[in-house]
Amino acid sequence: MAAMTREETEALIQEVLEIYPEKAKKDRAKHLAVNDQGLEKSSKCITSNRKSLPGVMTIRGCAYAGSRGVVWGPVKDMIHISHGPVGCGQYSRAGRRNYYIGTTGINTFVTMDFTSDFQEKDIVFGGDKKLAKLIGEIETLFPLNKGITVQSECPIGLIGDDIEAVSKKAAKEIGKDVVPIRCEGFRGVSQSLGHHIANDSIRDWVLGKRDGDDSFETTPYDVAVIGDYNIGGDAWSSRTLLEEMGLRVVAQWSGDGTLSEMELTPKVKLNLVHCYRSINYITRHMEEKYGIPWIEYNFFGPTKIAESLRTIAAQFDDKIKEGAERVIERYKADYEAVIAKYRPRLEGKKVMLFVGGLRPRHTIGAYEDLGMEVIGTGYEFGHNDDYDRTLKEMGNATLLYDDVTSYEFEEFVKKMKPDLIGSGIKEKYVFQKMGIPFRQMHSWDYSGPYHGYDGFAIFARDMDMTLNNPCWKQIQAPWKKPAANAEDAQRAAGGL
């Protein structure tokens, strides 16, 4: 099928919206748009970061997910208490696959679940005493932890516990950082506010710790990798490229990151932002308070990697600029071999994405390097500025959908017939049962890393093994297939 025209895409949106009641239709229409590369500002064509419509199936998470799961969770040497009932912590435990180095339960704690396990009496009488006791127990059982965060679940905000007071008192007693975070799930319209709250708590409780302390030896080439959560090892395959070009990575936020790395970040010369959505707040703060500039980069696919390495190098002297060219040259043979191998198998295939954070726009370059085309994309919890950055990346007249409902997504897929869908676990089996190849783009479908040149090879292999898997030919039941010829029909009937 040739690419859809603007009119066809608009007609498709209207057709899909037809089923909604009048009011819902009006609301959802604002979140669906046809891309126009000519536009500078996305606010002219799409509305985002609004409350989901009651009654539709949304794919969003909550503020707790944004803070505990995304921003704070991967900080490996701290213990993150899910303060409240047991479910929130347990069902989100280790799901994001933030890889880290360390001995779990001794000096690192990422995949463990710590919870205050609220019961009825804690709701009635308050949970402050339980929290204080819990912090004491953690200190006894896991003495090598570097600090504790208290991640509030919904009931904490509802009953009005004073976690700040408990945290301050406990911090004095154990002599470590105890950070209270008011990330109750009901705050905001999606996990996005959780990111903001987590950023603010880092700003208020962590970042200023080393102000006025110059004992840390700096170099002119210090950078921090911000907003890389090391999913399947992503931050590692990014970090090697930066180090090869001559930079010194002082901190990783927050995949495989530590508390002391976070405290040292104000000493760096440049902040490199990968996931803009979840972490831009803190980089803006650091720019204002410490005068550290920040730039966004994209390490998906060789075209974007080369572009990003050069942009990063442009902030430094000639030594780094040469380093960037050297790195690009060094991996050239590798990625050209990957493209030569997989491009013929993937050329011209169409992809639809629906993910969060940065991937709906950042992965487009990687697909294009493999000759694939992204025909629709959207963010779970993106804001205007995410869509601003997406308009230029996407082709003209492609489809944009914000906070897409499961009904809309299914209808779009039925009509646009993509060859591959990239989204999350909640969508995976629906589309696989529809017979469409699917990759989870949150957890890389338990593969990865996908960042960097090394990651690109894995990305290409994964896309190929999903798309060209022979199982997709077996999806239709044999008795529903039209008989290819009379002989087959006879054989099926037991005649031969």
Partner 1 sequence: MPEVMFRKDHNDKLIFYVAKKDLEETIASLEFESPEKWGGEIVLSDGQRYYLEPLPAQPKLPITLRVKRV
Among residue numbers 132 through 171, which ones bind partner 1 (CB under 8 A)?
none
Q: Which one of 24, 295, 430, 465 is in contact with partner 1 (CB under 8 A)?
A: 295
How many residues bind partner 1 (CB under 8 A)? The answer is 14
Q: Which is nearer to partner 1, 294 or 459 (CB)?
A: 294
Q: Which is nearer to partner 1, 297 or 431 (CB)?
A: 297
Q: Pick the catalytic residue: 63, 65, 235, 324?
A: 65
Q: Which one of 107, 111, 240, 384 is in contact with partner 1 (CB under 8 A)?
A: 384
Q: Which one of 196, 321, 349, 442 is in contact with partner 1 (CB under 8 A)?
A: 196
Q: Which is nearer to partner 1, 192 or 447 (CB)?
A: 192
Going edge to edge, which strands form the sheet with 373-377? Answer: 32-34, 399-401, 373-377, 350-353, 420-423, 438-440
- Does 287 interact with partner 1 (rule: CB under 8 A)? yes
The CA distance from 264 to 247, in Å, is 16
**Strands 399-401 and 32-34, sheet pairing:** antiparallel
Is 96 catalytic? The answer is yes
**Residues constituting the chain:** 496
Q: Which of 67, 76, 78, 277 is nearest to 154 (CA)?
A: 67
- Does 303 interact with partner 1 (rule: CB under 8 A)? no
Min. distance of Cβ 186 from partner 1 in angstroms?
18
Is 275 catalytic? The answer is no
- Does 38 interact with partner 1 (rule: CB under 8 A)? no
The CA distance from 189 to 371, in Å, is 36
Please name the residue that has the structure tokens 């950055």.
389
- Does 182 interact with partner 1 (rule: CB under 8 A)? no
Q: Pick the catalytic residue: 195, 277, 361, 362?
A: 195
Quick one: residue 101, left, alpha or beta (phi over 0 = left, psi -120 to 50 = alpha)? beta
Quick one: residue 216, left, alpha or beta (phi over 0 = left, psi -120 to 50 = alpha)? beta
Q: Which one of 182, 284, 428, 461 is in contact with partner 1 (CB under 8 A)?
A: 284
Encoding tokens for residue 489? 């029909």
Among residue numbers 68 through 97, which ones bind partner 1 (CB under 8 A)?
none
DSSP 409-463: HHHHHHHH--SEEEE-HHHHHHHHHTT--EEESSSGGG----SHHHHHHHHHHHH
Degrees to nearest 5, angle at CA 198 with 196 and 201 = 110
- Does 30 interact with partner 1 (rule: CB under 8 A)? no
Q: Which stretch binds partner 1 (CB under 8 A): 157-165, 279-287, 397-405, 465-473?
A: 279-287
The CA distance from 67 to 156, in Å, is 15
- Does 41 interact with partner 1 (rule: CB under 8 A)? yes
| 126: Cα within 13 Å, side-chain hemisphere | 8
Q: Are 225 and 242 in contact (CB under 8 A)?
A: yes
Q: Which is nearer to partner 1, 164 or 385 (CB)?
A: 385
- Does 288 interact with partner 1 (rule: CB under 8 A)? yes
Q: Are 198 and 224 in contact (CB under 8 A)?
A: no
Min. distance of Cβ 182 from partner 1 in angstroms?
16
The secondary structure element, H or E, covering residue 486 is: helix 486-492
Q: Which stretch binds partner 1 (CB under 8 A): 162-170, 241-249, 283-291, 420-428?
A: 283-291
- Does 49 interact with partner 1 (rule: CB under 8 A)? yes
Q: Which is nearer to partner 1, 48 or 238 (CB)?
A: 48
Q: Which is nearer to partner 1, 315 or 443 (CB)?
A: 315
In our burial notation (b when 16+ CB lie closer than 10 A, e otherwise), range 287-311 reads: eeeeebebebbbbbbbebbbebbee
Q: Which is nearer to partner 1, 197 or 458 (CB)?
A: 197
The CA distance from 56 to 32, in Å, is 15
- Does 383 interact with partner 1 (rule: CB under 8 A)? yes
Among residue numbers 317 through 346, which ones bind partner 1 (CB under 8 A)?
none
Q: Pick the catalytic residue: 28, 31, 33, 62?
A: 62
Q: Which one of 36, 117, 368, 385 is in contact with partner 1 (CB under 8 A)?
A: 385
Catalytic residue list: 62, 65, 96, 195
Q: Which positions lie near partner 1, rule CB under 8 A?
A: 41, 43, 49, 196, 281, 284, 287-288, 291, 295, 383-385, 388
